[in-house]
């Protein structure tokens, strides 16, 4: 048995991983990624982002993401689609601050509708709006979001309204990081759920990215409590981008740092198990070989459940032991 099959046996929907076409030629990687006992869901790590799907206005390109979707389908794995309205990884034409509100609304409508219709019926869920919040729970302004500056906070319910019309079968998520650790930011996300509903739009879930640090991961009960705040609103929750980075690498295989990392992984997975509304866990790559952490946060690393050479770490054993 593996992560996904054990997870499903507990009543959850999936255990999944971020992956993308840059991983396709690595056979050792694919042996694990396409083993449906381990991973029952793929999230395209980059290929569904705006810069990939609409690099020039009106010019859509789905070739990369289609390859990921096709692979998931032929392995009978779910697809979690990621992401639509986000301030980051935008093509330059979108970032252009000379948009007027009507033109930007039309652009957003065309983008979300075209991308979502292309994948309609194939996405278990969509991260409709990503990372709209600042760390203090107010709307993010650093770096500024073109959507917030030109449309104001109503771009959030607007995105969910467009999304619901484009693919009625996908669960619609708000997705963000540090909701796990910063109560004020979680308050902000609660506010977003309410704001979307007050506008008469549909939201089905809140995604907790869970980019964590070894030794600074919340305890299982604590995180379960935060997840329950959202469950109480009647939305699903999911851990959408889990990785737990060491502050200073390299760390020794099987050493004390890896023991702590294993405890931290178990706390996050355990919290999801404790909350009925938590549908599943996605790791943001399963191997250190392809983790985004070292290049984004210099000095940090070894954040995944498998080492660079595909050795399952203590975190893997701890999670399997828990399931
Ligand atoms: C990251 C990818 O992993 C990197 O390959 C890319 O260069 C930048 O984006 N939050 C998200 C993800 O929602 O889309 C980000 O993915 C990580 C942070």
How would you write 162-200 as a 3-class SS string?
Answer: HHHHHCCCCEEEEEECCCCCCHHHHHHHHHHHHHHHHCC
Ligand 1 atom at minimum distance from 175 CA: 13
Domain ranges of the chain: 3-322
- ipTM score for this prediction: 0.99
Q: Does 243 contact ligand 1 (Cβ within 6 A)? A: no
Whether 291 lines ligand 1, by a CB cut-off of 6 Å, is no
pLDDT score of 97: 77
Helix ranges, 61-100 (H): 63-74, 92-95
Selecting among 241, 258, 276, 308, the annotated active-site residue is 241
Q: pLDDT tens, 194-234?
A: 999 999 999 999 999 999 999 999 999 999 999 999 999 99
* pLDDT mean over 137-166: 96
241 is catalytic: yes
Tokens representing 188 are 């902000």
Q: pLDDT confidence of 96, banded at 50, 70, 90?
A: confident
Whole-number pLDDT of residue 117: 98
User: Is 46 a pocket residue for ligand 1 (Cβ < 6 Å)?
Assistant: yes
Superfamily of the domain at 3-322: Glycosidases (3.20.20.80)
């Amino acid at each position: 048995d593996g992560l996904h099959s054990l997870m499903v046996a507990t009543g959850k929907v999936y255990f999944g991983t971020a992956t993308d076409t840059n991983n396709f030629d690595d056979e050792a990687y694919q042996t694990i990624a396409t083993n449906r006992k381990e991973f029952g869901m793929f999230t395209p790590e980059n290929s569904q982002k705006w810069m990939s799907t609409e690099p020039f206005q009106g010019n859509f390109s789905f070739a990369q993401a289609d390859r990921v979707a096709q692979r998931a389908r032929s392995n009978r794995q779910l697809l979690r689609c990621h992401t639509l309205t986000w301030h980051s990884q935008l093509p330059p034409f979108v970032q252009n601050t000379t948009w007027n509100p009507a033109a930007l609304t039309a652009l957003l409508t065309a983008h979300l509708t075209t991308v979502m219709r292309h994948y309609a019926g194939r996405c278990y869920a969509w991260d409709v709006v990503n990372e709209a919040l600042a760390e203090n729970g107010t709307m993010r302004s650093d770096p500024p979001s073109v959507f917030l500056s030109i449309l104001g906070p109503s771009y959030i319910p607007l995105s969910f309204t467009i999304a619901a019309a484009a693919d009625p079968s996908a669960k619609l998520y708000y997705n963000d990081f540090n909701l796990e650790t910063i109560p004020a930011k979680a308050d902000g996300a609660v506010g977003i759920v309410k704001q979307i509903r007050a506008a008469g739009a549909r939201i089905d879930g809140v995604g907790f990215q869970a980019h964590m640090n070894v030794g600074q991961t919340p305890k299982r009960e604590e995180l379960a409590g935060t997840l329950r705040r959202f469950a109480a609103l009647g939305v699903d929750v999911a851990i959408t981008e889990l990785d737990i980075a060491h502050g200073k690498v390299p760390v020794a295989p099987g050493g004390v740092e890896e023991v702590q990392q294993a405890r931290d992984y178990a706390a996050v997975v355990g919290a999801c198990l404790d909350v009925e509304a938590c549908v599943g866990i996605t790791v943001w790559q399963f191997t250190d070989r392809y983790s985004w952490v070292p290049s984004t946060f210099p000095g940090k690393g070894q954040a995944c459940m498998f080492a660079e050479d595909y050795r399952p770490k203590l975190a893997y054993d701890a999670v399997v032991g828990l399931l």
